[in-house]
Amino acid sequence: MFHPNTSSSLRRACSLLLVLFVLCASLAAQAQTRTIRAYIVAGQSNSEGGGTRKNPGGRNPEQDLNTIGYSHWYADFPQALIYKGHTDTGVGPGWDNMRPAYGGGYDQALYRNNQFGPELAIGHEVATHLNEQIAIIKYGQGGTSLAQFWNPDDPAINCYDKLIATIENAKQAIAPAGITLDIQGVFWTQGESDSWSLADSQNYKANLERLIAALRTRLNKPNLAFHIASLKDLPLWTHRQLIWDAQQAVADADPNAYLVHGKDLETYNDDIAHYTARGQVTLGQRFARQALYAAWGKGQVKTLRAYIVAGQSNAEGVGISRNAAAYGLNPKQDLYTIGFGHYDTTYSQTLIYKGHPDSGVGQRLDVMRATYGLGHESNPLNYHLFGPELGIARSMAHYLEEQIVLIKQSKGSTTLAVDWNPADPGTNQYDHLLVAIANATAAAQAAGVELDIQGVFWMQGESDSIALPYAQAYEANLKQFIATLRTRLGKPQLPFHLATIRDTPHWTYRQMIWNAQQAVADADPNVNWVSGRDLQAYDNDPAHYTAAGQVTLGNRFALQGLYTAWGLGQVPW
């Protein structure tokens, strides 16, 4: 029998099933939709990037990801997605996994490109440390000034408009995958082209503030983080100081703008305007570290001046900090007997990393103490010997009125001819020095500090002075050592401060060493000599300086370092 209510009940049941179906479909769609952090990489040619992935034939240095130890970044990295807009339009070919192919020339070569920029390290480091997938939107164009090409108020289409087009195209391209982008920050590498024009350099602060404000408004992100890389310290960038000042002023005034240290990034010898593979990896890692600090609410990563202390036993140091009688040396002299007992305390204005003499591997980055001399490794806090680092630390940090870092690598009885020879295919003190620098840098970065190496204090030559062939070759060997270390650190004008060895018959060919040191200093505007001939040594150990000798050496090194920092040149000893 037919019941009238049956039809309406069936309709109601069907309607309910339909609602449940739609609801389930909606919930399923919501479950598949996700939001991921996104970052913008923008600027001019060093944002585009000329770091070489592999086979860098013809570049100087011939350097790629493999030669700098990053061949594991060859592979696709799906934890970081990338969309790169074409330089002429802002239209990219689509989203891709991060790989070292998104540098300069990508628009022409696409998947065959062999270059990368800072996005590679940013992608790897940020995604890894956040432990989540991220997205990078990249747009850049070489040779573009902020004043002319990135002006958001210009009615003509320019790089700013193409950046906006890139961002919109990136959002649209990823939407079908159920992904929404939450743009967290901008990595800005630019300023070189503005530095050629005095007017553009003078207006850089205002122009950068205008760009930041316009982009934040356009993206509806009033607190969008801006990470601004300082341009490299090169005479090529004529008014670089004005650009640096502007970048610093913007970062100081804006709680969401951060300065990223870039003055020391390595460039090609035959193309000094552009960063090498190492330079690009370093830039990307510094960008990433600052972005992580911003994401974790830690604020600005600090950059500190750093100095290298290196050489042989008088760089190691046997100055006695306390209890001089226990050491059997004459005169029985320590910091207290010469009126420097206040140096025998911890000094937090200077941090120090001392590499082991036989490896370069140190124990930690620590506050300065009067214990970093000979034997430190055997009893770090209770072995009371020190070298020139103590006077350097106290004087330089005090007069610069800022915290500094010292990296120390030294070993007694070592020659420049053999033990510090950077061309030796074996492992020697030069290699240990590089290890110490790398480890000190890593230790500082772990504490949220970048190091800007400003100079080398070199106390060495005694062992070369007792062998005629070594003494005769000292000038050439010293030039080679300086040039190689500068190249390795990407610091072509890195200052070297050379202490002359003591005037004692113990150092047979000391006149040759003095002549060599003087010749190197005379020929190189960034090498200075430091008077050391009269430093006090022990009566029963005339090869090594007393506490007074070490304090004097350290203070003289510091005076020359300060003269250099202040642009005053050679101290008139």
58: in domain:
yes
Residue 56's pLDDT is what? 78
Q: Is the pLDDT of residue 2 over 50?
A: no
- Report how many domains make up the chain: 2
State whether 69 and 148 are in the same domain. Answer: yes
pLDDT score for 112: 63
| Cα dihedral value 509, 514, 515, 520, nearest 10 | 130
Output the six-digit token pair for 549.
């000798």
Q: How far apart are the first and last CA of the chain?
A: 121
Q: How confident is the model at residue 113 (pLDDT cuts 50, 70, 90)?
A: confident
334 in the same domain as 247: no
184 and 294 belong to one structural domain: yes
My answer on whether 432 and 461 are in the same domain is: yes
Cα 160 versus chain centre, distance: 29
Q: Are 80 and 200 part of one and the same domain?
A: yes
Angle (CA) 368 354 423, round 5°: 145
- How much is the CA Rg of the chain, to the nearest whole Å? 29
Do the beta carbons of residue 144 and residue 161 sit within 8 Å?
A: no
Does residue 376 contact residue 354 with C-beta atoms inside 8 Å? yes
Q: Do 234 and 340 reside in the same domain of the chain?
A: no
**Amino acid (one-letter) located at 530:** V
Same domain, 320 and 269: no
Are 497 and 557 within 8 A, CB to CB?
yes
Task: Say whether pLDDT at 3 is over 80.
Answer: no
**Is residue 5 domain-resident?**
no
The pLDDT tens digits for 185-228 are: 999 999 999 999 999 999 999 999 999 999 999 999 999 999 99
Residue 442, in any domain of the structure: yes
What number of helices (H) and strands (E) belong to the chain? Answer: 17, 22
Indicate whether 572 belongs to any domain.
Answer: no
- Cα-Cα-Cα-Cα torsion 504, 505, 511, 514, nearest 10 degrees, comes to -30
Last residue of a domain, one of 241, 265, 300: 300
Q: Choose the most confident range, by mean pLDDT, from 27-31, 63-67, 178-182.
A: 178-182
The token pair at 256 is 């969401």
Amino acid identity, position 573: W
**Residue 190, token pair as written in the block:** 């630019």
pLDDT digits (tens, 9 = 90+) for 373-406: 998 887 766 679 999 999 999 999 999 999 999 9
Contacts of 355 (CB under 8 A, 6+ apart): 361, 362, 407, 408, 409, 432, 433, 435, 436, 439, 440
CATH at residue 77:
3.40.50.1110
32, pLDDT greater than 90: no
pTM: 0.79
Round to whole Å and give the CA distance between 126 and 133.
9
Contact 489, 529 (CB under 8 A): no
How do beta strands 51-52 and 115-116 pair?
A: antiparallel
In a domain, 22, yes or no: no
pLDDT at residue 125 greater than cutoff 90: yes
Report yes or no: 204 and 243 within 8 Å, Cβ to Cβ. yes
What crossing angle do the helices spanning 204-219 and 159-174 adopt, rounded to 10°?
A: 30
Mean pLDDT computed over 6-26 = 38
Q: What pLDDT, on a 0 to 100 scale, did the predictor assign at position 111? A: 56
C-alpha 530/C-alpha 547 separation (Å) is: 18
In a domain, 94, yes or no: yes
Cα(95)–Cα(136) distance, integer angstroms:
9
Average pLDDT over residues 439-458: 94
Amino acid in position 108: Q
Residues 165 and 181 in one domain: yes
**pLDDT recorded at residue 522:** 97
Burial status of residue 105 (CB atoms within 10 A of its CB: 0-12, 13-18, 19 or more) = middle
214 & 338 share domain: no
Q: Are 317 and 388 in contact (CB under 8 A)?
A: yes
Which of 300, 320, 339 is the last residue before a domain boundary?
Answer: 300
Domain boundary among 300, 328, 363: 300
Instruction: Calculate the alpha carbon distances from 161 to 45, 90, 142, 151, 204 in Å.
Output: 18, 8, 16, 9, 19
pLDDT at 478: 98
Distances (CA, A) of 203 to 195, 254, 450: 10, 17, 28
Helix axes 429-446, 474-489, angle to 10 degrees: 30
Helix (H, G, I), strand (E, B) or coil at 337: coil
The answer to whether 430 and 436 are in contact (CB under 8 A) is no
Distance CA 498, CA 265 (A): 25
- In this predicted structure, the answer to whether residue 30 has a pLDDT above a threshold of 60 is no
Q: Quote the domain boundaries for residue 410.
A: 304-565
Looking at the domain assignment, is residue 165 inside a domain? yes
pLDDT digit string, tens, across residues 56-65: 777 888 899 9
Residue 346's φ and ψ, nearest 5 degrees, are -70, 145
- Are 286 and 324 part of one and the same domain? no
Both tokens of residue 490? Answer: 């990407």
Please tell me the predicted confidence (pLDDT) of residue 490.
81
Distance (Å) of CA 61 to CA 57, 186, 385, 452: 9, 30, 41, 22
Give the separation between CA 68 and CA 265, rounded to whole angstroms: 14
Query: What pairs with residue 551 in β-bridges?
Result: none
9 in a domain, yes or no? no
Q: Quick one: pLDDT at residue 377?
A: 84
Same domain for 352 and 328, yes or no, is yes
Contact predicate 340/547, CB 8 Å = yes
| Placement of tokens 């992935």 in the chain | 53
How much is the pLDDT for 429?
97
Give me 348's structure tokens.
């937090």
Residues 502 and 364 in one domain: yes
